[in-house]
Amino acid sequence: MDKSDGCCSTHLIDGDGVFNVAGVENFIKEVKLAECGLSYAIVSIMGPQSSGKSTLLNHLFGTNFREMDAYKGRSQTTKGIWMARCVGIEPCTLVMDLEGTDGRERGEDDTTFEKQSALFALAVSDIVLINMWCHDIGREQAANKPLLKTVFQVMMRLFSPRKTTLMFVIRDKTRTPLENLEPVLREDIQKIWDSVPKPQAHEETPLGEFFNVEVVALSSYEEKEEQFKEQVASLRQRFFHSIAPGGLAGDRRGVVPASGFSFSAQHMWEVIKENRDLDLPAHKVMVATVRCEEIAHEKYDSFTANEEWCQLKEAVQSHPVGGFGKKLSTILNTCLSEYDAEATFFDEGVRSTKRKQLEEKLLQFVQPAYQSMLGRIRSDTLERFKEAFDKELKGGIGFAMAAHECTVSFMSQFDEECTDAVIDQAKWDSSRVRDKLKRDVDAHIAEIRTAKLAEVTTLYETKLNDALAGPVEGLLDGAADDTWPAIRKLLQRETDTALSGFSAALSGFEMDEQTRENMVLRLKDYARGVVEAKAKEEAGRVLIRMKDRFSMLFSYDSDSMPRVWIGKENIRAITKTARSASLKLLSVMAAIRLEDERDSIENTLTVALSDGGASTKKGIASLDPLASSTWNEPRVYWKQPPYLHKLGVSASKTLITPIQCKSLWKQFNTETEYIVTQAIAVQEASRRNNNWLPPPWAVVALLILGFNEFMTLLRNPLYLGVIFVAFLLVKALWVQLDISGEFRNGALPGLLSLSTKFLPTVTNLLRRLAEAGQRKANNEPQHNTTSASSEENRGEYSSPSMHDRMK
């Protein structure tokens, strides 16, 4: 590429017909042709070799084409096709300098390049300058005749929708006026046109349908240089604004946009070199297709690298982006607008098709981000729905109302956010995401509904359990005739209370009547199950309960005071009463009686077990009524009481079978027999211990035989004092040693215990007496000391006695 004097030129096609792709690309960038759109013009010049074509162009357009050196002789100067930008002409005008025709270098028969270059010039150019000598006009064998014939022949191979301006430049004009030369030239041109073979469709087509013919004349450059320059300057003015309507290049139909000129020219030359017909409309579409694809690809790459888009894409991965649709629509619209601006001059059909393809490709590229945005909106809306729904429920609003209000509110918010995320260029439907959100919301509501119903159910089940388990256990523990009626009344009262609250709690869920009734029925069954479970639990501990009740009634009196077996109690009667109460407990625990139905379990157990089976011993029944595994078997035996004819308790309500009752009663008697035996033994020992005085006959014998000794004591009172002191000492020892208590368990154990306690007790008693006497001697006179000591000794003797009595 050559740049000098403000002009830029390049070798477009060399002499061997090779298209200079790199040179043309650099040339277009240098002259900034791509920015021109359709506002540019192409001028080419053809003519015989050494006819001054380059000289004319350099003066006419300010180019720097190489000119022939006249001093070196006439020879080929321009090889191939050169291109340059015209200096100082608006709009942008490019001029092509074609290799001269009829040159000796290529020879007489080598006219292929001449025809190819002529066809290329006609296909590319808006204006074709035909340089010819003035003295050739009117001649039959003039040098311009083969050139014109070549131009018209190749014109038949073009299918162009526009007219090309043919400007005949007559060089070295003579004195003959142009008005006289122009008709002759036009006549010669018409003859050549008529003589050129044409397709059948254009046999009658006039020359004016294909060409605008212009004729100008210039003086000799060598002889009249100044005049030549003036005429050239005048002609130059005609190239200003040549693309305006009525200008030399005013017909803009089929013009290739400037950005596609390089590719268009290259493709044209390839078609021409392959000797194929050049369909310019089809070529225009092809160029538009290629260029629009290139532009679309560039805009796609530009969009993918767009910083704002990258930030938007990255942000939407972590959280919903406000104004997503507007922002992305703006970026897409900018990209498509740039495409429109660059492709605006290409074929409309191709441009629209490629634009649509670009738009689809861009939308396909951004769709994952859009889907991600919808996903974020969905997940964010779902989370906010869960929080709001939970808050509404905690606020005391009914479940169904809270679910409805939150669903409507947040689905509306989702719709608004989806509308905000809508891309103007896309017609995407967010209904699938909305449906998924609705399913998620419904699933969450169903989950919470299930959890809340379970929570409410659990709450009232807990209340029923607390209200029934303890009282039922207490009632069963204190088994009596009214135990099961009291349990039935308790069950009915607590069940009604719980069902009332439960029904009120269920009203907020707006469930169907059938479901509500089923849940109420299940709660009623649960309440019944609590009672039955507690009854079964207590039935499993019935033996312990029986023994506890027996121990309570046997070991404690009616005032709940422990019994002391001193010999006056009727152990047999107490044992019978305690066992009857235990038998009552067993009969109560034998079956569940939640229906107001009578049964004969108690009577059967009383007859069969009371008093060791007295009824059997008396011969009332020939068989054991408890020899069964159920209470509902009818048993009629000889002389059997009427209440034993049918027991009437189903197996499902049985807690303890008859045979189990018999076994339990036997075990109960065995385990309580020891308590009774111990009580009897204690009572007997108490009787023996309390009878420690000698028999009456021994007392009479002592009085008779000891009469003399008694009289001796009466005659000598000193013996009485000694005896009295001895009595006090013995009484003190009796109290301290608790002799009566020690002999309560027998003589031998009492003697052994007293032998170990006698000496310590005597020592302790003497020490206390000595200490008391010493304190009185130090604090009071002697006569007071003696009396105080006596009183203290009496206090010491009485206190242990009182203490032991309290014990």
DSSP 227-272: HHHHHHHHHHHTTTTTTSTTSTT---TTPPPGGGHHHHHHHHHHHH
Q: Which residue has the higher pLDDT, 439 or 714?
A: 439
Does residue 731 register a pLDDT over 90? no
Confidence of residue 300 (pLDDT cuts 50, 70, 90): very high
Distance, CA of 428 to CA of 97 (rounded, Å): 56
Confidence of residue 691 (pLDDT cuts 50, 70, 90): low
What's the pLDDT at 591? 85
Does residue 162 register a pLDDT over 80? no
Q: Please report, in angstroms and rounded to a whole number, the separation of the first and last CA atoms in the chain.
A: 137
Largest CA distance in the chain: 214
Q: Using alpha carbons, list the distances in angstroms from residue 108 to 145, 182, 718, 785.
A: 15, 29, 196, 182
Distance, CA of 12 to CA of 85 (rounded, Å): 12
What's the pLDDT at 805? 33
Question: Which helix (H) or strand (E) segment is 96 a member of?
Answer: strand 92-98
* Paired strand residues for 556: 562
Does residue 503 register a pLDDT over 60? yes
Answer yes or no: are the C-beta atoms of 172 and 220 closer than 8 Å: yes
Distance, CA of 462 to CA of 455 (rounded, Å): 10
Q: Which of 386, 408, 381, 511 is nearest to 394 (CA)?
A: 386
Answer yes or no: are the C-beta atoms of 539 and 498 closer than 8 Å: no
Token pair in block for residue 174 = 């003579």
Does residue 318 register a pLDDT over 80? yes
Distance, CA of 449 to CA of 400 (rounded, Å): 9
**What is the distance, to the nearest Å, from the Cα of residue 520 to the centroid of all Cα atoms in its chain?**
35
Does residue 3 register a pLDDT over 80? no
Residues 665-671: contacts with CB within 8 Å, 24+ apart?
665/583, 665/586, 665/605, 665/609, 667/543, 668/543, 668/546, 668/547, 668/550, 668/582, 668/586, 669/579, 671/547
Q: Using alpha carbons, list the distances in angstroms from residue 7 to 1, 27, 63, 95, 667.
A: 11, 11, 6, 11, 131
Sheet holding 92-98, edge to edge: 2-4, 7-13, 81-85, 92-98, 40-46, 127-133, 164-171, 211-217
Answer yes or no: are the C-beta atoms of 761 and 796 closer than 8 Å: no
Does residue 698 register a pLDDT over 80? no
Answer yes or no: are the C-beta atoms of 717 and 777 closer than 8 Å: no
Q: Which of 413, 372, 530, 528 is nearest to 466 (CA)?
A: 530
Distance, CA of 723 to CA of 709 (rounded, Å): 13
Per-residue pLDDT tens over the stretch 239-250:
998 888 888 888
Confidence of residue 180 (pLDDT cuts 50, 70, 90): confident
Q: Which of 102, 169, 101 is nearest to 133 (CA)?
A: 169
Confidence of residue 638 (pLDDT cuts 50, 70, 90): very low
Q: Give me the amino acid identity at 526.
A: Y
Does residue 323 register a pLDDT over 90? no
What's the pLDDT at 494? 92
Mean pLDDT of 792-800: 39
Distance, CA of 211 to CA of 190 (rounded, Å): 12
Residue appearing with tokens 């790199």: 22
Mean pLDDT of 571-578: 87
Does residue 371 register a pLDDT over 60? yes
Least confident of 376-390, 516-530, 614-628: 614-628
Q: Which of 591, 577, 573 is nearest to 604 (CA)?
A: 591
Per-residue pLDDT tens over the stretch 90-108:
889 999 988 877 666 655 5
What's the pLDDT at 708? 80
> SS3 for 654-719, per residue?
ECCCHHHHHHHHHHHHHHHHHHHHHHHHHHHHHHHHHCCCCCHHHHHHHHHHCHHHHHHHHHCHHH
Confidence of residue 276 (pLDDT cuts 50, 70, 90): low
In a 3-state reduction of DSSP, which class is residue 757? Answer: helix
Confidence of residue 348 (pLDDT cuts 50, 70, 90): confident
Q: What share of the chain is helix, strand, coil (3-state, %, to 5)?
A: 65, 5, 25
Mean pLDDT of 178-182: 84
What's the pLDDT at 637? 41
What's the pLDDT at 611? 54
What's the pLDDT at 111? 65
What's the pLDDT at 160? 60
Sign of CA dihedral 684, 689, 693, 694: positive
The DSSP secondary structure of 466-533, one letter per residue, reads HHHHHHHHHHHHT--TTHHHHHHHHHHHHHHHHHHHHHHHHGGG---HHHHHHHHHHHHHHHHHHHHH
Least confident of 64-73, 155-164, 372-381: 64-73
Q: What percent of the chain has pLDDT over 90?
A: 12
Per-residue pLDDT tens over the stretch 526-568:
998 999 898 888 888 888 888 888 888 888 888 888 888 776 7
Q: Is the peptide bond before 197 cis (omega within 30 degrees of 0)?
A: no
What's the pLDDT at 795? 39
What's the pLDDT at 94? 93
Does residue 695 register a pLDDT over 80? no
What's the pLDDT at 297? 92
Q: What is the phi/psi pair of residue 550, to 5°?
A: -60, -45
Q: Using alpha carbons, list the distances in angstroms from residue 36 to 62, 158, 245, 344, 650.
A: 20, 26, 18, 11, 107
Token pair in block for residue 27 = 């040339």
What pairing do the DSSP bridges indicate for beta strands 81-85 and 211-217?
Answer: unpaired
Distance, CA of 599 to CA of 596 (rounded, Å): 10
What's the pLDDT at 347? 81
What's the pLDDT at 799? 36
- The mean pLDDT value of the chain amounts to 80
Confidence of residue 620 (pLDDT cuts 50, 70, 90): very low
Mean pLDDT of 722-732: 79
Mean pLDDT of 408-435: 88
Q: Which of 17, 38, 507, 31 is nearest to 249 (CA)?
A: 38
Does residue 133 register a pLDDT over 90? no
Residue appearing with tokens 């009824």: 615
Sign of CA dihedral 734, 738, 740, 746: negative
Does residue 657 register a pLDDT over 70? yes
Q: What percent of the chain has pLDDT over 70?
A: 83
> SS3 for 290-348, per residue?
HHHHHHHHHHHHHHHCCHHHHHHHHHHCCCCCCCHHHHHHHHHHHHHHHHHHHHCCCCH
Residue appearing with tokens 């033996």: 543
Q: Using alpha carbons, list the distances in angstroms from residue 389 to 412, 720, 762.
A: 15, 104, 89
What's the pLDDT at 780? 58
Does residue 7 register a pLDDT over 60? yes
Task: Give the gyration radius of the chain's Cα atoms.
Answer: 68
Distance, CA of 231 to CA of 72 (rounded, Å): 28
Q: What is the phi/psi pair of residue 356, to 5°?
A: -65, -40
Distance, CA of 73 to CA of 378 (rounded, Å): 87
What is the reported pTM?
0.57
* Of 140-149, 575-584, 736-745, highest mean pLDDT: 575-584
Does residue 676 register a pLDDT over 90? no
Q: Which residue has the higher pLDDT, 342 or 803?
A: 342
Least confident of 156-160, 448-452, 546-550: 156-160
- Give, in degrees to the nearest 5, the angle at Cα 724 between 720 and 730: 140
Q: Which residue has the higher pLDDT, 643 or 277?
A: 277
